[in-house]
Amino acid sequence: MSFELREQHGMLNVYGHISSKNMNKFESRVQQLLQKKEHIILSVERIEYIDRKAALMLEKLYRKAAVANKVLTIMGRQNQHIAETMAKTKTNYIFSSDRV
């Protein structure tokens, strides 16, 4: 299964699976949006699966945004489908602690 991005109420919602097979497409789409906007709220609350490489790619996007003086707020700390992978890769720190 692949992923779907939907912009709703100013938030970019991600649905489906993100893996090493489709992460380049995902990364490219988010980077395009970061070039146009100063702040993106990305919700991964509805992702059903993420693999190790995709978790590390999310971290890379987060860091790239900061270096470019952009803000990438990532919501989804409570998503149990991806919590274990994010913890094992030590990337769960990228999640915002605030709910929007």
Contacts of 26 (CB under 8 A, 6+ apart): 3, 5, 14, 18, 54, 57
Q: Residue 55's CB: how many other CB atoms inside 10 A?
A: 23
Q: How confident is the model at residue 99 (pLDDT cuts 50, 70, 90)?
A: low
pLDDT of residue 98: 65
Instruction: Report yes or no on 87 lying in a domain.
Output: yes
Q: What is the mean pLDDT of residues 14-38?
A: 95
pLDDT at residue 51 is higher than 90: yes
Residue pair 75/44 in contact by the 8 Å Cβ criterion: yes
Burial 6-23 (b: 16+ CB within 10 A, else e): eeeeeebbbbbbbbeeeb
Instruction: Report yes or no on 100 lying in a domain.
Output: no
Percent pLDDT > 70 in the chain is 96
Cα angle value 19/38/53 (rounded, 5°): 15
pLDDT digits (tens, 9 = 90+) for 53-75: 999 999 999 999 999 999 999 99
Instruction: Report yes or no on 72 lying in a domain.
Output: yes
CATH number at residue 62: 3.30.750.24
Instruction: Report yes or no on 99 lying in a domain.
Output: no
pTM as predicted: 0.91
The count of domains in the chain is 1
Q: Which two tokens stand for residue 95?
A: 């999640």
- Domain range for 59 is 3-94
Question: What average pLDDT is seen over the chain?
Answer: 94
Contacts of 22 (CB under 8 A, 6+ apart): 2, 3
